[in-house]
């Protein structure tokens, strides 16, 4: 983990912003502040942001909207800050692609521990040789029942040729399924084989993500025929998959 990692704090409360700036700067981080999406977007677009601390409840674009936008356009790690006690909001944030959440009121040492933990998972250490790039497969495209899944372009096309929007979590789950078609996979296997940042204990919400993926690809999500539940074991992707 880099000691000068750049943290962007997005919160509409100036007292919270300044408190986090003073504390994290004292711990060796570079810190920028934004009071909402309008200030956040150009900072992220300029590059160099290593982690976003993102408040859930803000006027205008709320934290879930901004987290969805960040995950659509970037891979920057996200820690949600929430004052809500409703676990549903937290689960939704994690499903969208947030890496962790911290409930308000929080202790500054907890902020530091969570920030360091997420950065360790998501950033290479300075001075360490990066791992060699994997040799790309001969093809990264798959087809099933007229649908086409382009893993390189991270795009899913339906049988009519239209694109289907997928969150990062949904994309990774579908990638694992098409690469393991016909195999029964339990939840641990699904999480272990998903690429990108490490999964955390909160990712037991994988069942919810599978439900959302079913709603996007199944002919009848109430009676799934492609992503079938194997009771007491896990899930199996049933279509015949061909590499393109």
What residue segments make up the domains of the chain, in order of their start? 6-122, 141-243
Under CATH, which number does the domain 141-243 receive? 1.10.10.10
Residue with tokens 């393109």: 244
CB 197 within 8 A of CB 99: yes
pTM of the model: 0.55
| Length reported for the chain | 244
| Domain 6-122, second-level architecture | 3-Layer(aba) Sandwich (3.40)
Edge-to-edge strand order for the sheet containing 242-243? 163-164, 155-157, 147-150, 141-144, 242-243
Q: What is the pLDDT along the chain (244 residues), one digit of tens a residue?
A: 456 899 999 999 999 999 999 999 999 999 999 999 999 999 999 989 999 999 988 888 988 899 989 988 888 999 988 875 556 566 666 667 788 888 888 889 999 998 998 888 776 544 444 444 443 443 468 999 999 999 888 899 998 989 998 887 788 889 999 999 999 998 878 877 775 444 554 445 577 778 889 989 998 888 899 999 998 888 999 999 998 7
State the pLDDT at residue 74: 87
Q: Cα–Cα distance between 120 and 105 in angstroms, integer?
A: 24
For residue 100, the model assigns a pLDDT of 83
Whether 6-122 shares its CATH topology with 141-243 is answered no
The phi, psi pair for 211, rounded to 5°, reads -60, -40
Angle between the 206-217 and 87-96 helix axes, to the nearest 10 degrees? 60
């Amino acid at each position: 983990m880099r000691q000068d990692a750049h943290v962007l704090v997005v919160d509409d409360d100036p007292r919270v912003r300044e408190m986090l700036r003073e504390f994290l700067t004292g711990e060796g981080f570079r810190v920028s502040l934004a009071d909402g999406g309008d200030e956040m977007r150009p900072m992220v677009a300029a590059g160099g942001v290593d982690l976003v601390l993102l408040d859930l409840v803000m006027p205008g674009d709320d934290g879930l909207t901004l987290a969805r936008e960040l995950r659509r356009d970037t891979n920057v790690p996200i820690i949600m800050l929430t004052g809500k006690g409703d676990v549903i909001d937290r689960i939704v944030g994690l499903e969208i692609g947030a890496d962790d959440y911290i409930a308000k009121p929080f202790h500054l040492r907890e902020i530091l521990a969570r920030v360091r933990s997420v950065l360790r998972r998501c950033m290479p250490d300075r001075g360490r040789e990066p791992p060699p790039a994997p040799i790309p497969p001969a093809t990264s495209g798959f087809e099933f029942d007229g649908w086409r899944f382009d893993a390189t372009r991270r795009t899913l096309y339906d049988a009519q040729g239209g694109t289907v929007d997928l969150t990062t979590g949904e994309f990774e789950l579908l990638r694992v399924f098409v690469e393991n078609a016909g195999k029964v996979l339990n939840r641990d296997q699904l999480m272990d084989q998903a690429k990108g940042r490490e999964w955390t204990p909160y990712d037991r919400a994988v069942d919810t993500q599978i439900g959302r993926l079913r709603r996007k690809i199944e002919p009848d999500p109430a009676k799934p025929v492609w992503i079938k539940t194997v009771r007491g074991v896990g899930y199996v992707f049933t279509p015949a998959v061909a590499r393109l």
